[in-house]
Structure 1
Amino acid sequence: MTNNRTAKQPKPDWIKIKLTTGDNYQEIKGMMRSKTLHTVCEEARCPNIYECWANRTATFMILGDICTRACRFCAVNTGLPTELDLQEPERVAEAAENMKLKHCVVTSVARDDLKDGGARIFAETVAAIRKRLPLCSVEVLIPDFLGERDSLEIVMNSKPDILNHNIETVERMSDRVRARAKYRRSLELLGRAKEIKPEIPTKSSIMLGVGEEWDEILQAMDDLRAVDCDILTLGQYLQPSPKHLNVEKFYTPEEFALLKEEGLKRGFSHVESGPLVRSSYHAHEQVKSATAAREERSVSL
């Protein structure tokens, strides 16, 4: 029994996942197990795991695998975390070095049980990666830290190459889709990030198909540009289990293409838009686009 009245829709033909479980995939999976690391690729059941792991890219999920929130779209386990692993930043950096990463994405579960929300571990992870891989760009995908500016400053002062925080959905749907997180608080976080470190590109993501209207998607784009968000990703919501929100609509590839045009018209330096796009998909390309756009704007001023 599902948690809303809409009948479950069959997946359309364009929602296809390419299964590639070759040597690179198996090697990365083994490495994660041996270092007791978690990836959002697995925990959130990302549809791109086979492609990304085959290409030797992964998004590390720090601060454990138990989230203190229970968002209605997310497959990550929820509950009360039992410990904080202070050695995790070094293990993540070692894995990134072994994988020879050129761009590393670090995200986390929400840790509302911690005073700083885990900000210090984020900063230490960035520093550890930079020490081992000085040429590797580092992207952090952070929770909202319940709006605490001090926690955000800790992360921003570690100077990640991209600061990523997802609004996830349009304003009207936010309370239904997310747990504890607030739409306006997320926008404030992205705006504050630019106040603290204007030179660091910011990024956010919207998943489609949870009941939003087209005009609301465009308004969410405008809201993100109002806080100078540089990068936008748009993807199709896929129900991870029967207890999660049903899919209200499957957007076509043509609709995603139109939304990409709308985002670029609004001034985003990079828009990744497609049915299977997730926040970290093709992340290595996004940092290049954002940096080039900022350099171009600086020259024109």
Structure 2
Amino acid sequence: MAEEIIKENKVTKPKWLRVKLPVGKKYTELRGLVDKYKLNTICASGSCPNMGECWGEGTATFMILGNVCTRSCGFCGVKTGRPETVEWDEPEKVARSIKLMNIKHAVITSVDRDDLKDGGSIIWEETIQAIRRANPNTTLETLIPDFQGEEKNIDRLLKAAPEVISHNLETVRRLTREVRIQAKYDRSLAVLKYLKDNGQRRTKSGIMLGLGETEDEVIETLHDLAKAKVDIVTIGQYLQPSKQHLPVKDFITPEQFKKYEKIGLELGFRHVESGALVRSSYKAQKHLD
């Protein structure tokens, strides 16, 4: 268990959990571009603790299909509600921005768009195609929603052929209903297996710790991801975006993260990123190696 102090039923953040402040010329440049072109990045919308570090190194994760999600996951800092109308020029705008930023490896994600018949998969496919046209040397990772398990929508992503396709399981089976209210644990596993079986792309998934899961449950989840033929796994500490979101039950020690990394590698994953500040797209380019 983490070294923790309980005060008024709250878990005090430990000393080892420190977030770097956004600094540097490159970060300032990217901040200016994101603001100028009104781009939606999960870095900002999702309150990612690595925003300063990643942007300082000239990398960013773009969020398409708006910044309002149709799902109300208990862990996520992205707004929930009725999304705005689809912007059909968004693929070209994202592609131009990647070129302006001179990004060599781009990560694309999106909100869930259960309000759309295609789940947003058409915009997904067109965004990848637009990036390929404008940036032929840029490699891509796509962090996709589950598209409610609709294979015809998933097939659009496989056809577009990004180098890495990622879908996050987020938490253990027992906590899924509480953490990912409209999602299903087995559906997410089925999506990951479908991606591997039908596209032979490099697949990736991530989970958060500190929501009340047990060690045995984390290990069971790693086994489930291995059975789904996932190549890359990220394991990070859950951090509460606001008081309205699920509370942190405990902080996982660096030693425990290392233990999970060792177990994951023994299960045969190609890469395992495991640490308090690890997020799905953290150091994403190295997962191509």
TM-score (structure 2 length as normaliser): 0.96
| Alignment partner, residue 297 of structure 1 | none
Q: State the superposition RMSD in angstroms.
A: 0.9
| Code of the aligned partner of 1:21 | V
How do 1:133-212 residues align onto structure 2 when only pairs under 5 Å count?
133-198=135-200, 200-212=201-213
Number of equivalences: 282
Secondary structure of residue in 1 paired with 2:109: strand
User: Matched residues, percent identical?
Assistant: 48
Secondary structure of residue in 1 paired with 2:281: coil
| Code of the aligned partner of 1:183 | Y
Q: Deviations over 1:10-54 (max 9, x none)?
A: 110111011132221121111112212100000000000000000
What is the CA–CA distance in structure 1 between the aligned matches of 2:78 and 2:275, rounded to whole Å? 23
Contact kept? 2:66, 2:84, Cα under 8 Å: no
Asked if 1:244 is matched to 2:245, the reply is yes
User: Gaps (5+ residues) in structure 1?
Assistant: 1-5, 289-301
| Alignment partner, residue 299 of structure 1 | none
What is the CA–CA distance in structure 2 between the aligned matches of 1:8 and 1:39, rounded to whole Å? 30
What is the CA–CA distance in structure 2 between the aligned matches of 1:7 and 1:281, rounded to whole Å? 31
| Code of the aligned partner of 2:224 | D
| Alignment partner, residue 4 of structure 2 | none
How do 1:20-39 residues align onto structure 2 when only pairs under 5 Å count?
20-39=22-41
| Alignment partner, residue 47 of structure 2 | 45
What is the CA–CA distance in structure 2 between the aligned matches of 1:287 and 1:227, rounded to whole Å? 19
What is the CA–CA distance in structure 2 between the aligned matches of 1:140 and 1:215, rounded to whole Å? 30
User: Gaps (5+ residues) in structure 2?
Assistant: 1-7
Secondary structure of residue in 1 paired with 2:10: coil
Q: Deviations over 1:245-292 (max 9, x none)?
A: 11111001111111100000000000001000000000000121xxxx
| Alignment partner, residue 223 of structure 1 | 224
Secondary structure of residue in 1 paired with 2:33: helix
Asked if 1:273 is matched to 2:271, the reply is no
| Code of the aligned partner of 1:247 | V
Q: Deviations over 1:158-193 (max 9, x none)?
A: 001001000000001100100211000000000111
| Alignment partner, residue 3 of structure 2 | none
Q: Deviations over 1:134-160 (max 9, x none)?
A: 121100001111111110001111001
How do 1:52-67 residues align onto structure 2 when only pairs under 5 Å count?
52-67=54-69
Contact kept? 2:109, 2:142, Cα under 8 Å: yes
Secondary structure of residue in 2 paired with 1:229: coil
Q: Deviations over 1:83-141 (max 9, x none)?
A: 10111111111111111111100000000001111111111111111112212110000
